[in-house]
Structure 1
Amino acid sequence: MTSIRGVVVAAALGMIMLAPQAVAAQQMIDGSDPDQILNLARGYGSANLEKSDNGDPLIRGRIDGVGYAIFFNDCTNNRNCDTLGFYAGWTDTNVTEAHVAEWNRTKRFSRAYIDDEGDPVIEFDVNLKSGVSRRNFDDTLDWWKTVMLDFRDQVIDAN
């Protein structure tokens, strides 16, 4: 007769043996399926899939009224892209190089600059080579939202 302890040990060992398979079965996000990234972006606001001037995928969206773009970079034949570039820019502001320098000095996960037209821009790069978990990428989108809205509130609207 099998003891309860033996059943519990067997069940625990079975779960340990299946753990690597469960991790491998997690949905991975990479730059080969822009629709997957688009659907996750839509969880934060409106978003549409387009093509950039060079034919690579491009997502344009809005989060809390702020427009942004996700550029697919390092692509092979406009597919299988290794990196993403998140981008948001503003026009008609009083933001100076000093405001941008202060942001860059005190913040992580982004870089800001004044573009060629004198407008403030914030960017955020993401490496997708070999894929990341869906949960990780959703967290990345949440970081982008936080960074972008903090930049709007602390730099754009404050000046």
Structure 2
Amino acid sequence: MLRSTALSATFGALMTLTALPAWAETSVLTFDDLDTFEELLSGFGSVERDTDGEDDPMFRGRISGVPYTLYFYGCENHRDCNNGTFVAYFDGADYSTDAGTINDYNNGYRFGKASVDGDGDLEINYSFAFKGGITREALDDTFDWWRVILEQAEEHFE
């Protein structure tokens, strides 16, 4: 019995050590990796890097034909930003923008937030944080959630 336990412990230790290199290779992206942000976003549609009115970096793009902007916040000297917000606008004349439909969306969907801007257009946004870094897989998943949010919003508000 003791021998069996020792073998199990040895096997468990070996399995942990063989898994360690894969874990150690997981790189953490920071705001310095904007090229990777752009590369991942381009997997969902067109994208171009730009700067906003405060000279902070931003992206403009399209997913399934829907134009969006990705703004960055928490920036220091136009660098080291630690969170972002995706924003897309839909013509209020073409989509339902009444309070009941907006509330149904905001209460029924976990990700994404809907509101109506001053021009009566539908605004959909989605914020995310990456302070301290984010893995490539998690960032790609965040961008994929934005794609899902846009699809769900279009369907909900048509």
TM over 0.5, yes or no? yes
In structure 2, what is the Cα distance between the partners aligned to 1:48 and 1:140?
18
Q: Hey, what does 2:3 align to over in structure 1?
A: none
Q: Hey, what does 1:145 align to over in structure 2?
A: 147
Matched, 1:80 2:80: yes
Could you tell me how far 1:118 is from its partner in structure 2?
A: 1.1
TM-score by length of 1: 0.84
In structure 2, what is the Cα distance between the partners aligned to 1:94 and 1:149?
13
Could you tell me how far 1:22 is from its partner in structure 2?
A: 3.2
- Deviations along 1:70-98, one digit per CA (max 9) or x if unpaired, are 11111111011100101111123342222
Preserved CA contact (<8 Å) 1:31 1:72: no
In structure 2, what is the Cα distance between the partners aligned to 1:58 and 1:77?
14
Q: Hey, what does 1:50 align to over in structure 2?
A: 50
Preserved CA contact (<8 Å) 1:47 1:61: yes
Counterparts of 1:58-97 in structure 2, within 5 Å, are 58-91=58-91, 92-95=93-96, 96-97=98-99
Give 2:89's aligned amino acid.
G
Counterparts of 1:106-125 in structure 2, within 5 Å, are 106-125=108-127
| 3-state SS, counterpart of residue 93 of structure 1 | coil
Could you tell me how far 1:150 is from its partner in structure 2?
A: 1.1
- The total of aligned residue pairs comes to 150
Preserved CA contact (<8 Å) 1:85 1:126: yes
Structure 2 gap ranges (5+): 1-8
| 3-state SS, counterpart of residue 60 of structure 1 | strand
Q: Hey, what does 1:104 align to over in structure 2?
A: 106
Identity of aligned residues (%): 29
Could you tell me how far 1:105 is from its partner in structure 2?
A: 1.1
| 3-state SS, counterpart of residue 58 of structure 1 | strand
Matched, 1:31 2:17: no
Give 1:134's aligned amino acid.
R
